[in-house]
Copies of this chain bind each other. A is one copy, B any other.
Amino acid sequence: MGRLVMQYGAPAAVEAIRARALPPEFAAQEAQRAHEAKQDRTPDLTARLNAWQARLAAADPAADLEAGERSGARLIIPGSPEWPTQLDQLGLGRPLGLWLHGAADLRFSCLRSVAVVGARAATAYGAHIAAEFGVGLSESGWSVVSGGAFGVDGAVHRGALAGGSPTVVVLACGVDVCYPADHDTLFAAVRDQGVVISECPPGVHPTRARFLIRNRLIAALSRGTVVVEAALRSGALNTAAHALSLNRHLGAVPGPVTSGMSAGCHKLLRERKAVCVTSPEEMIDLVGVIGDDLATPSRPPAVPRDKLNETTRKVLDAIPVRGGAGPASIAVAAGVSLDAALSALGGLAAAGYIERTTSGWRLRKQTASYRKAPDSAVLEPPLTPESDPTDEPPFPDDDFRA
């Protein structure tokens, strides 16, 4: 309130109060007026006021309530038990009320929730990841908040439904309007298990502006937002911007740099606005309780060789693949004493790493390639994807612990 008075003087403040009775477009007006103020273009307040009054005259709250009731929707306002108080962080942009249609309790559903957003024209990759996130979050007891569009939105809600947790669809039109029309069965399923919500009264149809206004709710309802796929020009990036402005966590799922639909995610990562998130666990790690919801850190696979001690490993490295070498030359090559080399050779032979030939010690083929491992306590089948297909000496890839 005070901010408004400072910014535009009393008339606008009055208008702001009156605007409380107006449709959500008010938020957009707010944003634009702030924008104009920045550009020192003083808005024609009188014209605005008249326009809004015309609108106010056209509004019919009683009819809206009746229509909502008919469609089975309910209206909640700040103070209602089901009101998600985190919306208060939107300040003047807080919705005047929300229309809900569904079995789930909105406030409860959003306590542990993640917004999963992304492109409508998602690739097969994006849709797959979105579905995986939906299932993963849902099975971990986290609910999903997203829009109702094709692509990522639809995929993540389907995944969340499969996972059995409530899911929240935030529409840019009335909750009784099915947009896109092909999502009627999806929305029906969401109403059974989750809730479909909107700040638009029943019967209102979507416009560009309403989608952008809607996005702030998706960001504000959830603990954090993850962008699955987004082109450089994308509504998902708009939601991401809202999440950042609300100081909520922001994650981005990387994808092929050859895919334009991941360019938006990579931009967020490159500008360090978003954390790189590759799994639902990592997203929960980001938004969850510190210490409680940690994701299991991605560890490099262990290989039998790791169990060998330093000296033995050096000796193993010094043993040729072809031909053969005597203990003395192996000791020199490994840079260890002859005694150490001899004992190491015994152990390696027993473990099936090396074999003695007429020409001396050499690696056993399957050791070099970590393929078929002999029955041995030390040598287990390899876990590493880096196993060497050739019978050349194994590469350092098998040697390095990240």
Contacts and interface: CB of A to CB of B under 8 A. Distances in A.
Interface of A: 25, 29, 32, 47-48, 50-52, 54-55, 58, 119-121, 125, 128-129, 149, 172, 179-180, 205-209, 211-212, 215, 231-235, 237-238, 253-258, 260-264, 266-267, 269-270, 272, 275-279, 282, 298-301, 303, 310, 314, 317-318, 320, 331-337, 340, 384-386, 389-390, 392-402
B394 A208 contact: yes
A158 to B, nearest CB: 18
Nearest to A46: B337
Contact of A396 (B47, B54, B211, B258): B211
14 contacts: A54-B332, A119-B397, A208-B317, A232-B299, A232-B402, A233-B386, A233-B401, A234-B397, A234-B402, A235-B396, A254-B269, A257-B279, A260-B385, A270-B282
5 tightest Cβ-Cβ pairs between the two chains A and B: A254-B254, A233-B300, A211-B396, A269-B276, A257-B278
Contact of A235 (B299, B334, B397): B397
B386 A121 contact: yes
A69 to B, nearest CB: 25
A318 to B, nearest CB: 7
B396 A238 contact: yes
A385 B231 contact: yes
Contact of A314 (B209, B301, B400): B209
Contact of A128 (B52, B258, B386): B258
Contacts of A267: 298, 402
Nearest to A400: B238
A264 B385 CA distance: 12
Of A32, A52, A235, A320, the most chain B CB neighbours within 10 A belong to A235
Nearest to A213: B396
Nearest to A313: B208
Contacts of A54: 331-332
B335 A120 contact: no
Given A55-B332, A149-B395, A231-B385, A402 B237 contact: yes
Nearest to A26: B335
Given A256-B255, A399-B212, A400-B233, A263 B384 contact: no
Contacts of A121: 385-386, 389
B278 A266 contact: yes
A349 to B, nearest CB: 19
A258 B278 CA distance: 8
B231 A397 contact: yes
Contacts of A263: 278, 298
B335 A29 contact: yes
A385 B233 CA distance: 9
A276 B254 contact: yes
Contacts of A149: 395
A235 B395 CA distance: 8
Given A310-B32, A386-B121, A396-B238, A257 B253 contact: yes
Contacts of A234: 300, 386, 397, 400, 402
B395 A52 contact: no
A255 to B, nearest CB: 6
Of A32, A278, A303, A333, the most chain B CB neighbours within 10 A belong to A278
A392 B180 contact: yes
Contact of A266 (B51, B254, B310, B397): B254
A385 B277 CA distance: 25
B120 A397 contact: yes
Contacts of A340: 47
